Amino acid sequence: MRSSSSAAPAYAVVPPRPDCDSFSITDLSTEFAITPRALRFYEDEGLISPERRGLARIYSHRDRARLAWILRGKRVGFSLAEIREMIDLYDIGDGRQVQRTVTVERCRARIEALESQKRDLDAAIAELTEFVALVENVANKED
């Protein structure tokens, strides 16, 4: 896949596309800055289900929305299994209540994990900074 550094932030809302009835693999690859191979992978994983017309894949608005959810989830560190669980909850017919609840719970847990990792990184950086200063101080005394 292409670099995610140019991807939209994870919180970006994907604007509706009423100008299109469907999307080609090129349309979605271009819009989301991913490779056609990535789209085929998500299809193989059962995350999106484009219609097939001969050899062509025809993606629906639903596929486009699911793709946006997949990419957003990946950017913030969710596994494909977690993403699948969250997007599949859309179809249970409760007005997306369970999907929202599960998504919020998963996101809060992810935030907690990332904050813990950040504390660990900050501690490691501080320790390395102190060690570099110590080594440089010893080296300066020996010179």
User: For the chain, how many structural domains are there in total?
Assistant: 1
The tokens for 15 are: 């604007």
Query: Which pLDDT band holds residue 131 (cuts at 50, 70, 90)?
Result: very high
Q: Express each pLDDT in 55-98 by its tens digit.
A: 999 999 999 999 999 999 999 999 999 999 988 887 777 877 88
The tokens for 61 are: 């608005």
pTM: 0.74
What's the confidence (pLDDT) of residue 51? 95
Where are the extended beta strands (E) located within 32-138? 51-53, 56-58
Average pLDDT score over the chain: 87
CATH number at residue 46: 1.10.1660.10
